[in-house]
Chains A and B, each alone.
Chain A
């Protein structure tokens, strides 16, 4: 079955770049998503990428997609303390039910 994997923790210094990685298994996914979860809150969509794209940039966020290796990454430039959160990648299935398969989540800690 499908499986989406992420490393559990990442720690960076304020002002540095953060790179969060994700590997997925369902090569037929049309869209891949990045969600952010702040403490005690639900998930909010950060950005997404269409599967026929290699890269998408949105202000401080850059998403890279390597379809051959089934690897997705999220780069946050100039990381701020407010970026401290859990980041989830997700792929949508192709059954028409718009179900997501979520990764395990990466907890990003930004050190001042």
Chain B
């Protein structure tokens, strides 16, 4: 199992450009999440999905969009990139169980908007 994979690892965007951050998991997890990590701020939830075709906003969704057409993939779209979107982005997945639900994280995408 590759687990959760994210591409690209790094990206520099100019203000106003668009891009898609890719996330794929091979664990057949229903639940997937996108977080952003800013220094000293912990991780903030951008969007999440509880299954194919179902997405919902997290704490900081403005400026982002997601889709979930398959169980495996959960891409995050940035339209009209702004400097405030400079951050490290993490994708995670989990599957509900009877006990604690560990979230499995990808290695992250470091995005700079200049």
> A residues within 8 Å of B by Cβ?
4, 8, 31, 33, 40-45, 48, 50, 88, 92, 96-100, 102-105
Contact = CB atoms under 8 A, between A and B. Distances in A.
A4 B42 contact: yes
A42 B43 CA distance: 11
Interface stretch (B14-22, B64-72, B73-81, B102-110): B102-110
Contacts of A105: 40, 42
Interface of B: 4, 31, 33, 35, 40-45, 48, 50, 56, 58, 90, 92, 94, 96, 99-103, 105-108
A43 B90 contact: yes
Nearest to B58: A99
Contacts, number: 62
A104 B37 CA distance: 9
Contact of B31 (A8, A44, A98): A98
A33 B104 CA distance: 13
B15 to A, nearest CB: 26
20 contacts: A31-B99, A31-B101, A40-B107, A40-B108, A41-B107, A41-B108, A42-B4, A43-B43, A43-B90, A43-B105, A45-B103, A48-B100, A97-B31, A98-B31, A99-B48, A100-B103, A102-B43, A103-B42, A104-B41, A104-B42
Nearest to A48: B100
B75 to A, nearest CB: 17
